[in-house]
Chains A and B, each alone.
Chain A
């Protein structure tokens, strides 16, 4: 292949030369070039090595179907593997290299694989290394797993960077009346027609330039530019470098916009790629068609490519890809290219497999000096690392015979066209085989989706435009009248019918004929699959890897299906086609994730005192989406030392803890009391105003959903708190009850979790601290605010507050809620009062220690498997009313005596430590799932040793005096423990009530 850049013509900008590097060598091209065209203009022929055999591969196409020129672009963290050089726009400073080769694609030691090619047929690795001595022996697949690691290392193409992706990506949402995919003649005509009718149109083009096939036609650009200007003037939104990679339910399309992939230095504020979700009322597919190869010997040799690619490189990139060109075809479309190439000065010979062509084509060739051989085709490409000629074949009856060699430096092949029906296939529309055109076409859809142009099997330029306009009118009707059924287009306009030629296979000749060059799948692989019993095309695809991965059936699917049909003795429609699935072309994982990475992997939720906690020395931890203070270490303290000190201080003086993350729900309305009485298992009907009550909520199945306190603020107004973990679940459950079951109840629920900042003030001196911070200390005196009392009052500086005397720590304690914006001020005020009393700030770790000592349950215990009795709270459940879960909690299994019940756990040797998650077993039977499990452990400052909470069959009464082992085989081993009451500290609650 002796490609040369022409002095004029094309859609490149010769005033903007660009420098780039290929495999370490500096080269130049022009703005408007693709990497492939620039490499071709620089005389590069071998751009890749094949997947299995490491055969040299060159440029095979000019678009997304490329299977040869797969390269690695960029370096370091920005390295991007398996990029199609044909779709990568050239930019200044671009760095690219070949892949799957060592030391380079020009000289690759891996090519030795080619010598053993006959062994590397479909299924080679499984057949050789799985279950067959001497490669595998013994039981199971152990040896195969070892081989697999080595085989995987040898497999694959390019290598991804192992560094974190430094680029930004983002999501975007778009809306339009009509989404048009493709900016070729049909797409542009459709867009113009629809926009003029007042339709809001988005037109997307995967190429960096608008125009589609028009860019591959000879002539100047002014007509195209005029058309595009007219589209913009009509308000059509034009998107380039944007691939519609998938169609989904209800008119949703997934698009990938490559925002900076064509820029040398992209500004920091721009994302590299943008993942669009476009919702359209109708979709028009004008995505064009892909030209097929024909399978013949060594048809993967550099210098063999599609006819239309030759035309694109000539007319768009001003590159004459060869001087002595053979064009092999089975259809009319190749003749336009032949004329264009002949006009550029190349010598062109046509091999047409048909027995006749139209007079006009014959005259066209005669005028251009193009020789034609009918009923002829290439049998084998000749040459070393690039094509230097071919052995021709001539049809004799139903077979092919050798017909001498022809010298050439470029072999262009057209085996027909495959309309891009992928997007329609995504919607479950089964393409139908059209034998006249030898291609699959999509039938009319029940959805508002229409196809136009060559995507609908219409080949001629002017017919494509007409097809676009017709499809646009159909789309408009579908928008106006969703019941309308769009008529399918009338396809085809070739003068002579296509010859359905898929393989040139001479009798008794062994050839390496590729069907899917990207995966090194040959015609023999297809026949082998059939020979080994594969009859389904879906199984064939998976067995041979035909059309897998990034190719998605673009290059070889039709040939593979045709060969399978031939082997089965069936017609192609009887074999069917594989299902195309999104994405049409690869979508980077970064684009799928958008901006939701790093610190924004999940939305972080901060309490109003977040910064205050940090300033006070808090170390934060995640609780769901919340950032909560974990502990407040003093200088030199470890986490263990810090939380033990904090818990000890709470029991001795007073501690403050940010408890804003607790769920808070306002329950309002005349039936609020009735709602609460129906959802809580304990009575709520008579809760007085100014009082709060601890409540347990069950699920319908009788298991515990959540616990919390609910404060009665007024006759018809309550303030419910939930656990941090279950806030959203409880809110949704209550809403569901009101909206679906109890629609007669007049109750409104509003999440006020964000409205109120919460502080727990706990410890013997808590009342003194609080009294110092409220405007009227008598409002928080024992008489006005007894245990489970609620007051609405005012903190210093006029800050409104609601305060309840409730305790999670087991100490005298209060929960203080103030409007969130005042949270930091109130926290500071409380801390100013607590610090002189030798008080402390405490975090989640100390909170956990205090509650474990008291045997108070949290999400760790209420894990969806626990009944109210299991949690030791059965006495709270009312027998005098019905409530959610009241019937099913009495099922035999739920009331079984030896269910696991909440217990406390002490190590027998008080110096021992044990772990949460361990299994509790009888000492004489350490096996299986044991008798129970441990949910939480802590060092108890009050008791001076480690303690735990957990569940064991029958509860602590059943295990008194018995030897129990805490089994932790993976981490610590066995620890002898003692099962005790869960109320391990102050069981009578004297400190809490006092």
Chain B
């Protein structure tokens, strides 16, 4: 199959930018997004949650605003009735209780890491990112420049899921904002 083309293809330039010295921010596009959505309804949430957990070999599916990761993938609870499954493909689920959807091309996934990551993100989005409020495995939907984005605090840093069409616009803002902390585009 032909290679996928990233939304950032024309603007993604690796290197060091802004304040000299050790970079406070690292930006990295996690290319080749593999994202599936599973949705259920209130009366069958429990069996659906079991199926979702099973899809990545987890004991339990995450509650609202949280993520669970295993070696097989990650599940983010992005809405009360919706999960996002990362890196494990479109699962085969009971079609009576759930619906699923491939969204792998709908978002651009950017990893924001480095010691100033939360400070930098708070220059763009209104989320309380203090460690005791938004620790590892927290998930939230928020907005950058009026564009809805999803944020997941993974072990690697903060992972932003940006609607593909807005990716270049928000990437430019991210880069511009990050330069004051010293930026490395990985």
- A821's partner among B41, B82, B105 (CB-CB below 8 A) is B105
Closest B residue to A200 by beta carbon equals B130
In whole Å, how far is A204's beta carbon from the nearest beta carbon of chain B?
Answer: 16
CB pair A175–B130 under 8 Å, yes or no, is yes
- A595's partner among B95, B102, B126, B177 (CB-CB below 8 A) is B177
Interface presence of B127 (CB below 8 A): yes
CB pair A603–B166 under 8 Å, yes or no, is yes
Interface presence of A994 (CB below 8 A): no
CB pair B39–A668 under 8 Å, yes or no, is yes
In whole Å, how far is B179's beta carbon from the nearest beta carbon of chain A?
Answer: 4
Question: Which of A16-24, A155-163, A340-348, A605-613 lies at the interface with chain B?
Answer: A605-613
Within 8 A of B (CB), among A745-776: 746, 748, 750, 752-756
A823-838 vs B: 1/0 string, CB under 8 Å?
1110000000000000
B29-46 vs A: 1/0 string, CB under 8 Å?
000000001010100000
A595-622 vs B: 1/0 string, CB under 8 Å?
1100110111111101100000000000
Interface presence of B91 (CB below 8 A): no
- B39's partner among A267, A600, A748 (CB-CB below 8 A) is A748
- A754's partner among B4, B41, B145, B163 (CB-CB below 8 A) is B163
CB pair B179–A603 under 8 Å, yes or no, is no
In whole Å, how far is A968's beta carbon from the nearest beta carbon of chain B?
Answer: 36
In this complex, the member of B145, B164, B172 whose beta carbon has the largest number of chain A beta carbons within 10 angstroms is B164
In whole Å, how far is A731's beta carbon from the nearest beta carbon of chain B?
Answer: 11
CB pair B166–A605 under 8 Å, yes or no, is yes
A574 to B147, CA, bound (A): 50
A269 to B177, CA, bound (A): 8
Question: Which of B5-13, B59-67, B109-117, B150-158 lies at the interface with chain A?
Answer: B5-13
Interface presence of B106 (CB below 8 A): yes
Interface presence of A170 (CB below 8 A): yes
Interface presence of B136 (CB below 8 A): no
CB pair B4–A172 under 8 Å, yes or no, is no
Interface presence of A78 (CB below 8 A): no
In whole Å, how far is A183's beta carbon from the nearest beta carbon of chain B?
Answer: 21
Interface presence of A910 (CB below 8 A): no
- B105's partner among A168, A200, A754 (CB-CB below 8 A) is A754
- B106's partner among A267, A271, A820 (CB-CB below 8 A) is A820
Chain B residues contacting A717 (CB-CB under 8 Å) are: 99
Chain B residues contacting A133 (CB-CB under 8 Å) are: none
Closest A residue to B104 by beta carbon equals A819
CB pair B147–A603 under 8 Å, yes or no, is yes
- B122's partner among A173, A270, A822 (CB-CB below 8 A) is A173
Chain A residues contacting B125 (CB-CB under 8 Å) are: 173
A200 to B177, CA, bound (A): 25
In whole Å, how far is B35's beta carbon from the nearest beta carbon of chain A?
Answer: 9
Interface presence of B123 (CB below 8 A): yes
Interface size bucket, A side? Answer: 35 or more
A171 and B5 in contact, given A269-B180, A754-B106 (Cβ under 8 angstroms): no
Interface presence of A426 (CB below 8 A): no
In whole Å, how far is B91's beta carbon from the nearest beta carbon of chain A?
Answer: 15
A605 to B101, CA, bound (A): 23
Total residue contacts A-B, CB cutoff 8 A: 130
In whole Å, how far is A22's beta carbon from the nearest beta carbon of chain B?
Answer: 31
CB pair B2–A822 under 8 Å, yes or no, is yes
A170 to B178, CA, bound (A): 11
Within 8 A of A (CB), among B90-149: 95, 99, 101-107, 122-130, 133, 145-147
Interface presence of A277 (CB below 8 A): yes
Interface presence of B176 (CB below 8 A): yes
CB pair B133–A608 under 8 Å, yes or no, is no
In whole Å, how far is B138's beta carbon from the nearest beta carbon of chain A?
Answer: 14
CB pair A603–B170 under 8 Å, yes or no, is yes
In whole Å, how far is B169's beta carbon from the nearest beta carbon of chain A?
Answer: 5
Interface presence of A249 (CB below 8 A): no
CB pair A752–B18 under 8 Å, yes or no, is no
Interface presence of B173 (CB below 8 A): yes
In whole Å, how far is B126's beta carbon from the nearest beta carbon of chain A?
Answer: 5
A754 and B107 in contact, given A603-B145, A608-B7, A626-B165 (Cβ under 8 angstroms): yes
Within 8 A of B (CB), among A132-173: 168, 170-173
A755 to B1, CA, bound (A): 18
CB pair A595–B176 under 8 Å, yes or no, is yes
A748 and B165 in contact, given A173-B127, A611-B10, A821-B5 (Cβ under 8 angstroms): no
Interface presence of B50 (CB below 8 A): no
Chain B residues contacting A603 (CB-CB under 8 Å) are: 145-147, 166, 169-170
Within 8 A of B (CB), among A256-280: 267-271, 274, 277, 279
CB pair B105–A819 under 8 Å, yes or no, is yes
Chain B residues contacting A173 (CB-CB under 8 Å) are: 122-123, 125-127
Interface presence of B88 (CB below 8 A): no
Interface presence of B185 (CB below 8 A): no
CB pair A748–B81 under 8 Å, yes or no, is yes
CB pair B5–A824 under 8 Å, yes or no, is yes
Within 8 A of B (CB), among A797-831: 797-799, 819-825
In whole Å, how far is A608's beta carbon from the nearest beta carbon of chain B?
Answer: 7
CB pair B130–A799 under 8 Å, yes or no, is no
In whole Å, how far is A540's beta carbon from the nearest beta carbon of chain B?
Answer: 40
Closest A residue to B31 by beta carbon equals A821
Chain A residues contacting B99 (CB-CB under 8 Å) are: 668-669, 716-717, 748
Interface presence of A117 (CB below 8 A): no
Interface presence of A357 (CB below 8 A): no
Interface presence of A174 (CB below 8 A): yes
A752 to B170, CA, bound (A): 19
In whole Å, how far is A257's beta carbon from the nearest beta carbon of chain B?
Answer: 11
Interface presence of A862 (CB below 8 A): no
Chain A residues contacting B104 (CB-CB under 8 Å) are: 755, 819
CB pair B7–A799 under 8 Å, yes or no, is no
Chain B residues contacting A208 (CB-CB under 8 Å) are: none
In whole Å, how far is B98's beta carbon from the nearest beta carbon of chain A?
Answer: 9
CB pair A798–B1 under 8 Å, yes or no, is yes
Closest A residue to B39 by beta carbon equals A748
Chain B residues contacting A750 (CB-CB under 8 Å) are: 37, 39, 101, 103
CB pair B106–A755 under 8 Å, yes or no, is yes
Within 8 A of B (CB), among A555-606: 595-596, 599-600, 602-606
A606 and B168 in contact, given A175-B130, A596-B145, A754-B107 (Cβ under 8 angstroms): yes
A600 and B169 in contact, given A172-B122, A611-B10, A668-B101 (Cβ under 8 angstroms): yes
Closest A residue to B19 by beta carbon equals A269
CB pair A611–B1 under 8 Å, yes or no, is no
A748 to B95, CA, bound (A): 13
A750 to B107, CA, bound (A): 13
A603 to B4, CA, bound (A): 24
Closest A residue to B167 by beta carbon equals A606
In this complex, the member of B37, B81, B123 whose beta carbon has the largest number of chain A beta carbons within 10 angstroms is B123
Chain A residues contacting B1 (CB-CB under 8 Å) are: 797-799
Chain B residues contacting A666 (CB-CB under 8 Å) are: 101
A821 to B165, CA, bound (A): 11
A665-683 vs B: 1/0 string, CB under 8 Å?
0101100000000000000
CB pair A752–B103 under 8 Å, yes or no, is yes
In whole Å, how far is B124's beta carbon from the nearest beta carbon of chain A?
Answer: 8
- A822's partner among B4, B128, B170, B180 (CB-CB below 8 A) is B4
Chain B residues contacting A660 (CB-CB under 8 Å) are: 165
A756 to B163, CA, bound (A): 12
CB pair A175–B133 under 8 Å, yes or no, is yes
CB pair B180–A271 under 8 Å, yes or no, is yes
Closest A residue to B123 by beta carbon equals A172
List 22 contacting pairs A-B, 8 Å CB cutoff, sorted by A: A171-B123, A173-B123, A173-B125, A175-B128, A200-B130, A268-B179, A269-B18, A279-B128, A595-B145, A600-B172, A605-B166, A606-B168, A606-B169, A668-B39, A716-B95, A750-B103, A754-B106, A820-B105, A820-B106, A822-B2, A822-B105, A825-B2
**4 closest residue pairs by CB, A with B:** A821-B4, A269-B179, A668-B99, A755-B106
A600-B145, A752-B103 known; 11 new pairs, CB 8 Å cut-off, are: A269-B18, A269-B19, A600-B169, A602-B146, A603-B170, A604-B168, A605-B165, A750-B37, A798-B2, A822-B5, A822-B105
